[in-house]
Structure 1
Amino acid sequence: MDLLRPGSHRAEGLIDDHALVAAMLQVEVAWFDALVSVGVASREQAEIVADAAKQWQPDVAQLVVDAEATGNPVVALVKGLRAAVTDSSAAALVHRGLTSQDVLDTALVLLSRAAFVRIEDDLRGTATDLANLVRAHRNTVMAGRTLTQYAVPITFGLKAAQWLSGLLDALELVRLSAARLPVQCGGAAGTLALAGELTDEPLALVRAFADTLDLRDPGTPWHTTRTPITGIGHALVSTCDALGVIASDTVQLGRPEVGELSEGVVDGRGGSSTMPQKRNPVLGVLVRNAALQAPQLGAQLHLAAAQAVDERPDGAWHSEWNALRTLIELTVIAASQARELVSGLDIHTDVMTQRATAVADSLLAERGTGDDNPATYLGSSAEFADRILDRFERGATT
C-alpha cells in the first residue's frame, strides 16, 4: 500500500514484491513439471521441488539487495530455491534450460492475468449498473454540451450509454488480452540450446510448460519482440481511458453550478481538512488521476519495446518492470473505484429538466424555428442508446 496512491489497498497483494516472488516460484515449479513430462526429471523430484517452493520463506528485502548484483531478482531467487531443495539431483535441475528473462516475463504475465480477472469483474459490474441507468433514463432530457458550451438536447440515457460503449470496448480488450497471454521460454539467447541438451523435444518441453501454467505457447520466444507486454499495456490504458471519461463527466456535472449528478453519500468520504461544508467527488477525482497517468506508462512500454536490441535487451527490458506494475495497480484500483462511483451515483433529473427548459433557446438554436420543447429535438438519441444497450445485453451472456 502507498500513502500517495489513495485506494492502493484495493490492489493489496496483487502485484507487490511478495506476489512477484510467488509468481516466479510458480514458474520454476511449472518448468520442473514440464521437465517431468519429457522424461528429464522424475515425479518424485518434482514433488520435492514443489514442496521446497511452498515451504521456503524467502527474505524479500534481501532479494531486493541481491537483485542489484545481477540486474534482476531471478538469480538470487533460483539460488535460494536450489538451497531449499533437499535432493541434490533435483536441485541441479531447478531452472535448468531457462534464463532469468523467461522466469520474470512469465511471472509478470501471471500477475497480469490475475489483475485482468479482477478488472474484468469490476468492469462487468460497472457495465451492469450503467445499463440500468440507460434503461431508467432513456427519456430523461438534459442539455448537451460541446466544447464546454450548450449544444442540442440529449438524454441522460444516451450519455450513460456512451459511457457504457467505452466500457464495453475496454472489456473486450481485457478479455482478448487475457486469452492471449503467452509463456516466455527461450533460454539464454532465445534458441533453447540448453533445453535441447536436456531433451530431444525442446519444443514439446515449452508446450508442456505453457500447458502447466495455462498460458499460450507463442511458438517462439519474445525476448525482444515485446508485443505481449505492449498488448497488456494497451488493454490497461484503454480501460483507464474509458473509466476516465465517466469520472471526468461526473466530476464536471457535479460542480455546484451544474449540479446534475453527484457521488453517493458515504460517511467519512469527501470531506475537507478546513471547509466543513464540502463534499468532494473523491472517487471521480481518483479515477481521473489514474486516467491521467496511464497513457505515459503505456508509452514507456512502447519505448522499451522499440529499444529491445540484440537477443536480450540492455536496459529496455528492465525499464518495463516498474511501468507495467504501476499501470496494472492503477487500473485495478481505478476499476474498483469506478464501480463504486457508478453504483452510488445520484442523478438529479429535476435539475437536468429545469436547466434544459431554461436554456431551450440555446439548445434549439440549430433547429431555427418552431417548438421550444427540448424533448422534441432529440434526434436518434433513444435509438443509439438502445443499440448500445443491445450490445451489452448480447455480451452479458458470454
Structure 2
Amino acid sequence: MSDLFWPGDEHAGDLATEASWLAAMARVEQAWLDALARAGIAPATVELAGLVSPDELPAVARAAEGTGNPVPALVALWRGRARGPGAAWVHRGLTSQDVIDTSLVLLLRDAVKRVLAQLRGQVGSLVALADAHRGTVIAGRTLTQHAVPTTFGLKAAGWLTGILDAADALGRLALPAQFGGAAGTLSAAVELARLRGAADPAGTVSGVVADATSTLGLRPVPAWHTTRGTFTAIGDALVACTDAWGRIATDVATLSRPEIGELAEPAADGRGGSSTMPHKRNPVLSVLIRRAALTAPALASTLHLAAALAGDERPDGAWHTEWPTLRDLARRAAVAAHHTSELLRGLRVEDLRMGATAAAAWRDLTAERRAMAAFAGGEPADDPYLGLADGALATVLARANAYLEATR
C-alpha cells in the first residue's frame, strides 16, 4: 500500500489491509467450521480460502452498508460458492461480532509481532550508543535551558528505558478469541449440538470453542462482546511505543538544529531536501516519527471512548468505530517503528560539538555545584560533576542485555 496522506505507509506492508482482513475473517470462519465438523455437529467441512477474492471487496463493502458490517455478505458468498454438505454450515452458531473481533485480534497479533521485532533491534542499537558514549559529556537541558552536565550515554539510556518499557507492554498482551454467538451465550451452537444428537450439548460446544481457539493460536476466554479491554490494551501498548519513539525523535530534532549540531540523522539520497532551499537537510525521520507520536494517543482515546459506550450485549456504533481506528493505529505504529529503527542505526553523534558546547557553558552547568558547596560550607570538587550517571547507565544496560538474551 501507499498513502499520500501518510508518507512511508508502504513500510507497513500488508498489515491490516482490506485483503488481510478478508483472509483473517476466512481463517476464523474456517477454524469454527472445522471444529464443528470434528465435534460431529457439522456433517463436513469445506475450504473457504480463496472463495472470495480481494477484488470483490468493493462489492462486499457496498453490501455491508445494509447490515452494518461485512460478515453477512461474506457468509452468503462462502455458502453459495463452497461445494459439499458442509457449505450450509459456514458461520452456524456464530455472530458477526465473533468473526470481526477475532479476525481483528489476528491482524493486531501480526502488527505486534512486527513491532516487537523492530523494538528488539532498537534495543540493540541503543545499547551500542549508550555504551559507546558513557563518557561523552553533554550539556543537560531542562525547560530548554542549560542545567547540569550529563552524558550522551545516559541520554541514550533514557531513550532505551522507554523502548524497554514499550516492549514489556507489548509482550504482556494476551490475545483472546471471541466466540459468543448472538448475545455471548452460544445458545444457537448448543441447540445445534442437541439437534445433532450430542449427549452433552454444552460440553460439546465448549470443546468446539477450545478447538477453534487453539487452531487460531489465541487465548480461550468467555465472550467479551461489550468488554473491550482487549482492544484498549493493544491500543495503549502501541501508544507506549509511539511515546517512546516520539521522545527520541524530539531530542534528535532539537539537537540537530544547526545552532546546536550535536546529533544528525543518517544521510540518504533525496531525504531532507526542500523544494526551494538547496541548503536544507531537514530531520525527516524525526518529523515522521513525531507525526505518529502526536496522532496515536487520539486513536487510543477513541478506543477507550468506544469501550465506555459499548452497551447491552452488542455495541451500537461504538464497536464499529474500532475497526478503522485499530487499522490506522497498527499501520502507523509499524511505520514509526521502521523509521525509528533506521534513525537509531544511522544516528550520527557529534561528540566534539557536545564537548565544546558543554565547555563553553561550564560555569552555568556547574552553578548547582557551587551552590551546594556554599550551602555545605566546602569547596567544589574538580571533576565532571556527573553524580550517579554511570551507575544509572549500567543498570539500564543490564536490563537491556537481559532483555536481548531472553528474546534471542
The TM-score range, normalised by the shorter chain, is over 0.9
**Structure 1 counterpart of 2:395, from 376, 387, 396:** 387
1:76–1:55 Cα change, 3 Å: closer
Counterpart position of 2:215: 212
Q: CA deviation at 1:14?
A: 1.1
Output the CA distance in 2 between the equivalents of 1:264 and 1:303: 39
Cα contact 1:360–1:372 (8 A) shared by 2: no
Task: Name the aligned partner's letter for residue 229 of structure 2.
Answer: T
Deviations 1:289-345 (A, max 9, x none): 000001110000000000000100110101111111111111010011100011010
Q: TM-score, structure 2 length as denominator?
A: 0.93
Give the alignment partner of residue 125 of structure 1, picking from 115, 121, 124. 121
Map of 1:396 onto structure 2: 404
Structure 1 residue 70, shift from structure 2 partner: 0.4
Residue 197 (structure 1) aligned to one of 191, 200, 221: 191
In the alignment, the residues of structure 1 paired with residue 37 and residue 170 of structure 2 have an alpha-carbon distance, to the nearest angstrom, of 33
Matches within 5 A, 1:182-331: 182-199=176-193, 200=201, 201-218=204-221, 220-331=222-333
Match of 1:349 among 348, 351, 373: 351
- Native 8 Å contact 2:15 2:330 kept in 1: no
State the 1:38 CA deviation.
Answer: 1.6
1:62 aligned to 2:59? yes
Which residue, out of 383, 386, 405, partners 1:378? 386
Which ranges in structure 1 are unaligned for 5 or more consecutive residues?
A: none
For residue 185 of structure 1, what is the amino acid of its counterpart? Answer: F
Residue 184 of structure 2: SS of its match in structure 1?
Answer: coil
**Partner Cα distance (1:81, 1:255) in 2:** 58
Instruction: Give the C-alpha shift of residue 83 in structure 1.
Output: 1.3
TM-score of the pair, normalised by structure 1: 0.95
Q: Equivalents in 1 of 2:380, 2:266: separation in Å? A: 36
Q: Which runs of 5+ in 2 are unaligned?
A: 194-200, 374-378
- Determine helix, strand or coil for the equivalent of 1:54: coil
Q: Is residue 247–residue 288 contact of structure 1 (8 Å, CA) maintained in 2?
A: yes
Q: Provide the C-alpha distance between the structure 1 equivalents of 2:261 and 2:80, rounded to a whole number of angstroms.
A: 64
The Cα shift of 1:37 comes to 2.9
Secondary structure of 1:191's aligned partner: coil
Taking a change above 3 Å as real, the CA distance of residues 371 and 275 of structure 1, as seen in their structure-2 partners, is: farther
Residue-by-residue CA offset, 1:22-81 (whole Å, 9 max, x unaligned): 111111111112112322235xx32xx22x423542501111111101000111111111
Q: Is the Cα contact below 8 Å between 1:33 and 1:212 reproduced in 2?
A: no
Counterpart amino acid of 1:146? T
Percent same amino acid at aligned positions?
A: 50
User: What is the distance in 2 between the residues matched to 1:67 and 1:12?
Assistant: 25
- Does the CA-based 8 Å contact 1:361-1:372 persist in structure 2? no
1:151 is matched with which residue: 147, 169, 174? Answer: 147
- Is 2:59 the partner of 1:81? no
Residue 103 (structure 2) aligns with: 107
Tell me if the contact between 2:51 and 2:82 (Cα under 8 Å) persists in the aligned partners: no
Residue equivalent to 1:26: 27
Letter in 1 for 2:28: V
Amino acid corresponding to residue 17 of structure 1 in structure 2? E
**Separation (CA, whole Å) in 2 of partners of 1:261 and 1:53:** 50
User: What amino acid is the match of 2:29?
Assistant: E
**1:252-286 C-alpha deviation (Å, 9 max, x unpaired):** 11111110001011111111111111111000000
- May I ask how many residue pairs the two structures share in their alignment? 388
